[in-house]
């Protein structure tokens, strides 16, 4: 990837611990997902994806209607909706609220939206103390880093690194057992929950017909952050709205499965309004901050607005060959992987990081696994053309153009394509061995760079077409 500091990317590629951590964690998430979306386990999985896509499409096309409905239902249950144009507006609101209520300590449940506006740093500048309470988020906050992954923020940290971090920042004995580390974090955070005046959460869904926010979590910290402090503020992007509570029957089946391979996450909380008279817990005040931060700019374009369907499951990151090599910190913004490549240029402008839409092989794995069927490769192509039009990147060189023309010409002639494929297979059967025999070639810049990170798979003995024909023939016989 050009654009991110080159030495930083090189360090990631050469760091074997990090490479193993990324590959292992994303591989585990992929296999867990595969196990719970297979046709034997969930026969209507593809149907659910289509339904989710249609619900999102309908909602985003009628966003103004559903947001107003949501806001009036929040008000009807005693809550308040704050409309925020950007991060500065969110911070202004929170700083004023904290001052009015004499609050300094704020506990936070995991929220990518708050990461997007760098909320912790900004609140810190107002003399406030925000503390992350999701374990992964707490670890990256202590390390002064941003999340490495949408659903697994500390995916890149080994337990030994966490042990050092806890000793350095919390002054505790070095403890390498994960269970004991969790206990340490738990005891520190328990105190914070009990003393905080404000609890901040994100929202996975905003339900228009009830005014409820829905939180999907695994650790239980979100329940404490939203019920123990006397004020709860939920910060959510405006695209999180869905029309009806019954739509959750679709989204909840998809989200846990796509994110972590769980049929349902451990906790699913429905929160609407402050504590009522007959309730034993819950906040005295309940606010929902609806954040735009560039989202409404996408609404006018029927292709781009698809990006607003995202439910932040992270499946596209786990399946992305680029993310799996470069990890989460080599992307320019808090959203990494395929979803980061499409929303960063759209929220921040294509001129912000013009290289980003080009950092993709367009293999299409992201679209295949996306639970709401966002056509990510198509959006990447659209963004690439915008970057070229904005003259932020040179169009293809003549040589590149010629290469693509020849390729297209061959691809339009199936017989020729097949013949060339067979010739290629016969001559370069094992491409890597062939290249290695060529004197000096492996030391040539681009070839050397390629093989420092990848292998070249040997060509199969039979082409796809040959296998297809054989299979058809066998089926007919």
Does 298 sit near ligand SF4 (CB under 6 A)? no
Exactly one of 104, 312, 325, 378 binds ligand SF4 (CB under 6 A); that residue is 312
Copy the structure tokens of residue 387: 């970057």
Q: How far is the CB of 41 from ligand SF4 (least distance, A)?
A: 19
Q: How far is the CB of 55 from ligand SF4 (least distance, A)?
A: 13
Candidates 217-225, 242-250, 311-319, 433-441: pick the segment binding ligand SF4 (CB under 6 A): 311-319
Q: How far is the CB of 455 from ligand SF4 (least distance, A)?
A: 27
Exactly one of 79, 283, 371, 377 binds ligand SF4 (CB under 6 A); that residue is 371
Closest Cα partner for 275 from 213, 214, 228?
228
Candidates 30-38, 89-97, 228-236, 363-371: pick the segment binding ligand SF4 (CB under 6 A): 363-371
d(CA 67, CA 116): 21
Candidates 26-34, 225-233, 296-304, 305-313: pick the segment binding ligand SF4 (CB under 6 A): 305-313
Exactly one of 310, 359, 365, 379 binds ligand SF4 (CB under 6 A); that residue is 310
Strands across the sheet containing 80-84: 80-84, 285-291, 231-237, 198-201, 105-108, 129-132
How many CA atoms within 13 Å lie on the side-chain side of 215? Answer: 30
Helices 178-195 and 159-170 cross at an angle (nearest 10°) of 40
Exactly one of 79, 211, 314, 328 binds ligand SF4 (CB under 6 A); that residue is 314
Exactly one of 63, 103, 228, 313 binds ligand SF4 (CB under 6 A); that residue is 313
In this structure, what are the phi and psi dihedrals at residue 285, rounded to the nearest 5 degrees? -130, 145
Angle at 129 between CA 125 and CA 133, to 5 degrees: 130
Candidates 27-35, 72-80, 110-118, 366-374: pick the segment binding ligand SF4 (CB under 6 A): 366-374
In this structure, what are the phi and psi dihedrals at residue 231, rounded to the nearest 5 degrees? -125, 130
Residues 322 to 351 in contact with ligand SF4, rule: CB under 6 A:
338-339
In this structure, what are the phi and psi dihedrals at residue 209, rounded to the nearest 5 degrees? -80, 0
Residues 229 to 258 in contact with ligand SF4, rule: CB under 6 A:
258
d(CA 105, CA 133): 12
Q: How far is the CB of 456 from ligand SF4 (least distance, A)?
A: 29
Give CA separation, 256 vs 36, 46, 50, 207, in Å. 10, 15, 17, 18
- CB nearer to ligand SF4: pick between 128 and 250: 250
Does 215 sit near ligand SF4 (CB under 6 A)? no
d(CA 1, CA 13): 12
Helices 337-348 and 376-389 cross at an angle (nearest 10°) of 40
- CB nearer to ligand SF4: pick between 105 and 216: 216
Q: How far is the CB of 255 from ligand SF4 (least distance, A)?
A: 8
Exactly one of 90, 288, 374, 380 binds ligand SF4 (CB under 6 A); that residue is 374
Candidates 196-204, 370-378, 393-401, 430-438: pick the segment binding ligand SF4 (CB under 6 A): 370-378
How many residues touch ligand SF4 (CB under 6 A)?
15
Alpha helices (H) in 327-390, listed in sequence order: 337-348, 365-369, 376-389
Q: How far is the CB of 367 from ligand SF4 (least distance, A)?
A: 8
Does 372 sit near ligand SF4 (CB under 6 A)? yes
d(CA 128, CA 101): 12
Q: How far is the CB of 323 from ligand SF4 (least distance, A)?
A: 10
d(CA 85, CA 318): 31
Query: Applying CB under 6 A, which residues contact ligand SF4?
Result: 258, 310-316, 338-339, 369-372, 374
């Amino acid at each position: 990837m050009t654009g991110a500091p080159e030495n930083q990317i090189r360090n990631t590629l050469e760091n074997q611990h990090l490479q193993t951590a990324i590959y292992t964690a994303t591989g585990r998430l992929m296999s867990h997902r595969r196990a719970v979306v297979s046709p034997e386990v969930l026969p209507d999985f593809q149907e659910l994806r289509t339904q989710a896509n249609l619900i999102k499409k309908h909602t985003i096309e009628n966003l103004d209607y559903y947001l107003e409905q949501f806001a009036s239902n929040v008000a009807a249950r005693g809550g308040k909706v704050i409309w925020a144009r950007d991060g500065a507006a969110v911070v202004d609101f929170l700083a004023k609220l904290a001052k009015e209520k004499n609050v300094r300590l704020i506990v936070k449940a995991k929220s990518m939206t708050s990461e997007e506006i760098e909320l912790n740093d900004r609140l810190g500048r107002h003399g406030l103390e925000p503390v992350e309470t999701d374990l992964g988020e707490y670890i990256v906050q202590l390390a002064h880093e941003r999340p490495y992954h949408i659903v697994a923020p500390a995916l890149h940290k080994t337990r030994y690194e966490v042990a050092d971090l806890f000793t350095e920042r919390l002054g505790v004995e070095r403890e390498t057992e994960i269970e004991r580390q969790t206990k340490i974090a738990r005891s520190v955070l328990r105190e914070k929950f009990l003393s905080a005046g404000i609890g901040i959460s994100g929202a996975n869904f905003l339900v228009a017909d009830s005014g409820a926010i829905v939180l999907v979590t695994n650790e239980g910290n979100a329940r404490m952050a939203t019920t123990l402090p006397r004020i709860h503020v939920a910060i959510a992007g405006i695209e999180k709205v869905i029309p009806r509570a019954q739509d959750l029957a679709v989204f909840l089946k998809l989200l846990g499965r796509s994110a972590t391979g769980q049929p349902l996450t451990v906790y699913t909380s429905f929160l609407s309004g402050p504590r009522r008279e007959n309730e034993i817990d819950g906040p005295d005040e309940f606010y929902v901050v609806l954040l735009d931060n560039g989202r409404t700019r996408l609404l006018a374009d029927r292709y781009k607005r698809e990006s607003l369907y995202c439910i932040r499951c992270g499946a596209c990151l786990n399946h992305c060959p680029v993310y799996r090599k470069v990890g989460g910190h080599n992307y320019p913004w808090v959203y990494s992987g395929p979803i980061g490549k499409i929303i960063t240029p759209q929220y921040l402008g294509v001129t912000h990081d013009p290289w980003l839409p080009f950092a993709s092989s367009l293999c299409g794995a992201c679209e295949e696994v996306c639970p709401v069927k966002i056509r990510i490769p198509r959006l990447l192509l659209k963004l690439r053309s915008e970057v070229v039009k904005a003259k932020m990147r040179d169009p293809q060189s003549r040589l590149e153009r010629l290469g693509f023309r020849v390729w297209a010409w061959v691809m339009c002639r199936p017989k020729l394509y097949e013949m060339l494929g067979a010739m290629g297979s016969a001559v370069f059967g094992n491409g890597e061995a062939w290249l290695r025999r060529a004197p000096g070639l492996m030391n040539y810049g681009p070839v050397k760079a390629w093989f420092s990170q990848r292998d070249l798979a040997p060509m199969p003995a039979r082409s796809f077409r040959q296998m297809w024909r054989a299979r058809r023939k066998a089926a007919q016989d």
